[in-house]
Chains A and B, each alone.
Chain A
Amino acid sequence: MASRRKRSIFDIIGEYFEDLEEQAERLGETLMERPSWNCRSCTLEPLREIMVTPTEVIVTVDLPYTEENTIQVKPIDKNIIEISAKMKRKIRFDDFGITHYKGEFQTLHCRTRIPLPVYMDKMEIRFKKGILEVRLPRRHEYAISIE
């Protein structure tokens, strides 16, 4: 049997703060108020939804006004995917009647955290009526048997 190093109080406190930081980051992603546009990266943030089924995590993203062949879905971590798609033309603030901001946008872009372990390499994608659907099979890391 492999021997386990005994954790010191400093290890436990360190892990506690790491855990807190991770939770704060997640909370920030969902709650922090920020614009749905970014002039520096020339991107607009699309609306998205996550649904969990017994076998899959399904992410849908509303990508109106985009070209299907420009859609990119990249896993950038074991639990984060990055989605981007180019729009059919550049959109400027004045297209929305806004003149007090300046900037133009050509891409819809977002990063989404997947809430459960999944097989990123088995990702399936489809695009219909401007809605991107990313299906990720769930990775069941353990099961508890009923006696």
Chain B
Amino acid sequence: MSEEVKIIEKKEVPSGAIMLYGFPDVGLVGVIAASHLISELNLTEIAYMDSKLLPPLIVLHEGLPHSSIRIFGNHDVLLAVSETAIPADTIYPIMDALIDWGKNKNVGMMVSLSGIPIQDRQDAQELKVFAAASTKEMLKMVQDKGIEVLNEGYMVGPQAIVLQRCARIGVPAVTLLAQCFLNYPDPEAAAETIKKLAVITEIKVDVSKLREKGEEIRLRARDVMKRTQQEMTKMKKTQEYDIPVYVS
């Protein structure tokens, strides 16, 4: 692990778990999904990130300081989540440290939860969830389970690094991307990623509360969304709309 980024373990970490990522990105899909999973699965904090690369910021919960990037878990699941937008220029060392830590814990698979923005999202009747994977075998697995693959295009942000690094170090990884708003918190899209997570893993969670509380979540998540927009601009997130030049 890099000296710049340390992951401090607070509890025993299970071996062979599934590691999930929920980071601030389009529609805050990953963060909203992660928050719901933590609550529904009663996940507890088992590790946190300590790094001077992060802004001088702590999150206070019940008066006590916490790192903005933490790992929650139980016997079967590890979930890395960030409560604030990650500065664009620190994404590589932060994600590399988390992925390498997960590999050292022998995680069976890594799954990033995020979104893919669509125009006129408010008119969409159903939100599709697309998948991309680190290997052909993982891609076949998601296709066999009926999830549409994101065939061509660009991916920008934490989930892009997860796929790239996992492909290199031989950890099976999948990214689930639900159609969503670009710049507005989207709890409906978060619910769709959780439903598809249940299709490819044993993690089954009821999403009805997420739907019921959708408007409250949108109201509450405005500030994090705004900060995330600023970081997405810096990392040229809108490149995901670009049509790639085909290079075989």
Chain B: minimal CB distance from A29 (Å)? 14
Q: Is A49 touching B183 in the complex (CB atoms < 8 A)?
A: yes
The reply to whether the CB of A55 lies closer than 8 angstroms to some CB of chain B is no
Report the nearest A residue to B223, measured CB to CB.
A36
If over half of B's interface residues share one DSSP class (helix, strand or loop), that class is named, otherwise mixed; here it is: helix
CB contacts (< 8 Å) of A65 on chain B: these are 215-216, 218-219
Q: Which of A46, A87, A96, A131 contacts B122 (CB 8 A)?
A: A131
Q: Give the CA-CA distance A64 to B122 in the complex, in Å.
A: 12
The reply to whether B220 and A130 contact each other, CB–CB distance below 8 Å, is: no
Find out whether the CB atom of B226 lies under 8 angstroms from the CB atom of A130.
no
What A residues does B184 contact at CB under 8 A?
47, 49, 62, 131
Interface residues of B in 180-209 (CB under 8 A from A): 181-185
B66 within 8 A of A: no
Contact B123 A46 (CB under 8 A): no
Please judge, given known A-B contacts A47-B184, A49-B183, A128-B123, whether A64 and B223 are in contact too, CB under 8 Å: no
User: A60–B184 Cα gap in the complex (Å)?
Assistant: 10
> How far, in angstroms, from A117 to B219 measured CA to CA in the complex?
31
Q: Which of chain B's residues has its CB closest to A133's CB?
A: B122
Interface size of A as a range: 10 to 19
Question: Which residues of B lie under 8 Å from residue A130 when comparing CB positions?
Answer: 122, 215, 218
Instruction: Count residues of B near A (Cβ-Cβ below 8 Å).
Output: 18
Contact A36 B123 (CB under 8 A): no
A52: interface (CB < 8 Å): no
Please tell me if A44 contacts chain B, counting CB pairs below 8 Å. yes
Complex Cα gap A65–B215 (Å): 5
A117-144 vs B: 1/0 string, CB under 8 Å? 0000000000011110100000000000
* Apart from A36-B222, A36-B223, 20 more pairs, CB < 8 Å: A44-B219, A47-B183, A47-B184, A47-B226, A49-B183, A62-B181, A62-B184, A62-B185, A62-B222, A64-B214, A64-B215, A64-B218, A64-B219, A65-B215, A91-B219, A128-B122, A128-B123, A129-B122, A130-B215, A131-B184
What residues make up the interface of B, taking CB atoms closer than 8 Å to A?
121-123, 181-185, 214-216, 218-220, 222-223, 225-226
18 residue pairs A–B, Cβ–Cβ below 8 Å: A36-B222, A36-B226, A44-B219, A44-B222, A47-B184, A47-B222, A49-B184, A62-B181, A62-B184, A62-B222, A64-B216, A65-B218, A65-B219, A87-B219, A91-B219, A130-B215, A131-B122, A131-B184
